[in-house]
Amino acid sequence: MKVIAINGSPRKDGNTAAALKIMSEELEKAGIDVEIIHIGGESIRGCRGCFYCMSSENNHCAIKEDSVNEVALKMRGADGMILASPTYYAGISGTMKCFLDRVFFTSSEYFKYKVGTSLTAVRRAGGVDVTHQLNNFLNLAEIIMPPSQYWTVVYGSGKEEILKDAEGVQTLRKNARAMAWLLKAVAAGKETIPLPEDESRVMMNFIR
């Protein structure tokens, strides 16, 4: 089994990376392979709303100068994903937002009933808002999310300072263990229980 973890921090080895390492180690103990992809240091443009991806081969994005299409394919092929971002003004980092807008617009149909979770690192406040924003992408793609004892937020400012946040670290470990269990439960369930019957999407505009 494979999980793709997305690091949306511009700092490749900062607190967000340290948090992902905690999650990855727990998943690997459960026999699950984890690939961490650092997109936070890239220059990634936002979605242009051109709808090219609706009819292109493999539903690729029209913008091909960055890694979005390549990473989207990896996420489609994985069993699960972790979305991780630092907290910027109680929100997702700008690069991460551009990345997620494009990946989920092109690929949500491929993500249904995968397993996914999110995390953020924050100095003091605003972290819950970030996990909420990240979870919006997971929810709207019909991804199944594992539980934990608290919000998956770790606190720290200096490099790897989050490791001193004992409760936050424990919350991440428990979330990772729940994710490992859920990945295996979903895989086992798919062998005996069919997925829910799907329907064509109904789109309703409120202004006509």
Domains in the chain, please, with CATH?
A: 2-192 (3.40.50.360)
Identify which of 3, 6, 1, 30 has the alpha carbon closest to the alpha carbon of residue 19: 6
Residue 208 reports pLDDT greater than 80: no
Q: What's the half-sphere exposure (Cβ side, CA atoms, 13 Å) at 7?
A: 22
Provide the whole-model pTM.
Answer: 0.96
Interval 125-138 mean pLDDT: 98
The distance of Cα 162 from the centroid of its chain, to the nearest Å, equals 20
**Strand, helix or coil at 183?**
helix
| pLDDT, tens only, 56-115 | 999 999 999 999 999 999 999 999 999 999 999 999 999 999 999 999 999 999 999 999
Please report the DSSP string for 159-178 in residue order.
TTGGGG-HHHHHHHHHHHHH
Which pLDDT score is estimated for 72? 98
Which pLDDT score is estimated for 207? 87
